[in-house]
Amino acid sequence: MPRTKKDAPAPRGAGRPVDSQSVGRDRIIDCTVDLLGRRTPEELTILEIAAEAGVNRALVRYYFGDLRGLLHEVTEFLMRQLQDRMERALRQPGSLREQLKARLTLRLEFMRQHPHFERLALAEIYHAPRTGNEAGAPTPIQRVTARGLEITAMLFPEGVPPAVDPRFVHLILIGVPAFVSTAQPLIETLFGTGPQAETMMDAYVDFVARMLEDQIRPDGGGRLPSPT
């Protein structure tokens, strides 16, 4: 008996691999983040990522196009994760110096956890091509910078003209951890290694926090208001 049109199998979505029904793009991103703890970005391949996620490599290409597209999504994911942690930390009660130290330390710890994050951020956000965006849509660097400045603004008292340009503070909070993470040979030459080096690094973070505190609150009012 000939098969009728009603009996025919339903067509799949154009180009959509079968296993995409059970494995989402978030799993692929998570597996890529895990691999970046053991590989450099240059060593990664779509085949290895697909194997780690337990999917066909066609699914990786379906979601991200190519390896560059995947690395861009991973970088934005990590940046959102970092900024979420910073915002939560600044919503905790504490003095201004404690908040500054927490933000500096958090970024340093994040870059130890994700050793290639700074390189990825430079390549995929700060120096990413600015073409191909929808008309009027912010670029990745514009989105990241806008949210970063909003988080930095939490360090300043509301309704009071800032004593220092918040952008200056923002650059220091980004630049100090970035330099420390990429200049480890210099840090080891200055401070050595082991527990003593960790103590010196804690002292350095406190030093930077005190300098910023003096600029943000030159009147000595170092305690932030309790979050509402």
* Whether the Cβ atoms of residue 119 and residue 178 lie closer than 8 Å to each other: no
* Whether the Cβ atoms of residue 166 and residue 156 lie closer than 8 Å to each other: yes
Instruction: Inform me whether the pLDDT recorded for 74 exceeds 90.
Output: yes
pLDDT at 209: 97
Instruction: Inform me whether the pLDDT recorded for 87 exceeds 90.
Output: yes
Report the pLDDT averaged over residues 13-33.
72
Phi, psi (deg, nearest 5) at residue 42: -70, -25
What percent of the chain shows pLDDT beyond 90? 76
Gap between the Cα atoms of 105 and 201, Å rounded: 10
Q: By mean pLDDT, which of 93-97, 117-121, 143-147, 218-222 is the weakest?
A: 218-222
Instruction: Inform me whether the pLDDT recorded for 2 exceeds 70.
Output: no
Phi, psi (deg, nearest 5) at residue 95: -70, 165
Using alpha carbons, select from 57, 32, 60 the residue that is nearest to residue 47.
57
What percent of the chain shows pLDDT beyond 70? 83
Mean pLDDT taken over the chain = 87
pLDDT at 17: 55
Count Cα neighbours of 104 within 13 Å in the Cβ-side half-sphere: 28
Answer with the residue of higher pLDDT: 15 or 54: 54
Report the pLDDT averaged over residues 74-78.
97
Q: Which residue has the tokens 């003593």?
A: 196
Report the pLDDT averaged over residues 93-118.
95
pLDDT at 219: 73
Report the pLDDT averaged over residues 46-54.
95
pLDDT at 128: 84
Query: What is the third-level CATH fold of 17-65?
Result: Arc Repressor Mutant, subunit A (1.10.10)
Answer with the residue of higher pLDDT: 199 or 5: 199
pLDDT at 96: 96
pLDDT at 5: 43
173, 175, 190 from 85: Cα distances, Å: 14, 18, 30
* Per-domain boundaries in the chain: 17-65, 87-216
pLDDT at 135: 63
DSSP codes, 179-209: HHHH-HHHHHHHH-SSHHHHHHHHHHHHHHH
- Alpha carbon 142 to chain centroid, angstroms: 14
109-166, pLDDT tens digit by residue? 999 999 999 999 999 999 987 655 566 788 999 999 999 999 999 999 988 899 999 9
